[in-house]
Homo-oligomer: A and B are copies of this chain.
Amino acid sequence: MASHVRIGIAGLGTVGAGVLKIIKAHGDLLEARSGAHLVVTAVSGRDRTKDRGVSLDGVKWYDDARDLADDPDVDIVLELIGGSNGVARELCEKSLAKGKPVVTANKALLAEHGNALARLAEENNAPLAYEAAVAGGIPIIKALREGLAGNAISRVYGILNGTCNYILTEMEETGGEFAAILKDAQDLGYAEADPSFDIDGVDAAHKLAILSSVAYGTPVDFSNIYIEGIREVSAADIASAREFGYRIRLLGVARRTEKGIEQRVHPCMVRRDTTIAHVNGVFNAVVVDGDFVSETSYVGRGAGEGPTASAVVADIIDIAQGRHTPTFGIPVARMTPIPTVPIAEHIGCYYVRLTVHDKPGVIADVSAVFRDENISIESLLQRGRASGEAVSVILVTHEAKEDALVRALGKIENFTHSVAKPRMIRIASL
């Protein structure tokens, strides 16, 4: 590349402003590390007049971000708009089609259209970089795609959503219920006004789809990910987790099995002595199991202006240095679809919380259901004792197949003495 690398930024929200700040703060450092002088030559945002804390004097302004792709004074396009379609997607497509490198932080876009974009990037010999799309400031894409490239990966999993981790951590620390803690998180800016993308696990699933593709060399397959969010996690579950030596974390897990790849996002009980159990608040963590390297873990801030912009700038430097890698680590033609194993076939241990009327024979009936489904119970705990009233029965199972467990819970739900829908949380085998 030339001794100047000219950058066009589409989207001047948190991340875009962060990138402007890094480039302003670290001119010399970035020049030493990238071998080029990085200059922002053009931008596109919603509001031209907004104060972003960084001057845009002398920088071209586009009302339509897609025009950045046409600007001959833009060498690299940063897509920091977000959303899996619309302008963000069109800008990326147009830029790549013209052979212009694209850096994006857009996990939804990659999770839904990553395969087509990777093909477009390859056909036009234009890098498509997206370190910021997964786990914010943690350079996990680089680590997985390049740093661990000598390994067959058997599992990649992690805490991929800081909002959920903040809520779960706070629930544990305060004993509060989900709704109240969510409200606090919203007030503090850790959760969006409409939090569903985060708390329903969709955001984590977008990231997992990308990680999975890089880990296994398989096309991105977001639509087959099993997704379960954290809305149903209660203070009672958090308390039980503690009692059994666990913490509850929303995990994204992509695991290679003989049948294919398990791809799932759901709350998990994780043993308190694991690295991941100590990842608190808005931090993210990713753990990768490779056949030669064994387990490596990566922890850092998964969102926010500085961390996300840090990842974007690392991608810019890679491109400026001519360090290119196929989008998902291997050429599109070599990517091989691997079937997603349905969650019904998942095998693991389960935590189950039943709410039943405390009547003689309840435990016997529950036990019989599990026996009939061939599920063996590791421990069982009846909480409280108030004849005729609702009590909690907590169970931990040995390894069982999910469909059997679901059938068992369905039967128990139909008991006359069942007061509430049984709750189940998978126990992570970390």
Query: Which A residues lie at the B interface, using CB under 8 A?
Result: 18, 21-22, 25-26, 29-30, 32-35, 131, 137-139, 142-143, 146-152, 217, 273, 275, 278-279, 290-301, 306-307, 309-314, 316-318, 321-325, 329-331, 334
Contact = CB atoms under 8 A, between A and B. Distances in A.
Q: Majority SS of interface residues in chain A?
A: mixed
A32 B329 CA distance: 8
A280 to B, nearest CB: 9
A301 B149 CA distance: 16
A120 B293 CA distance: 31
A290 B309 CA distance: 12
Nearest to A38: B150
A146 B314 contact: yes
A273 B217 CA distance: 37
Contacts of A18: 292
B314 A148 contact: yes
B298 A298 contact: yes
Contacts of A334: 32
B300 A297 contact: yes
A307 B291 CA distance: 9
A341 B143 CA distance: 32
B307 A292 contact: yes
Nearest to A294: B301
Nearest to A305: B292
A237 to B, nearest CB: 23
26 contacts: A21-B292, A25-B152, A29-B217, A34-B149, A35-B331, A137-B290, A139-B142, A139-B146, A139-B296, A142-B143, A146-B314, A149-B317, A150-B311, A275-B278, A275-B279, A292-B307, A292-B309, A293-B301, A293-B307, A295-B300, A296-B299, A297-B297, A298-B299, A322-B322, A322-B324, A323-B323
Contacts of A26: 150-152
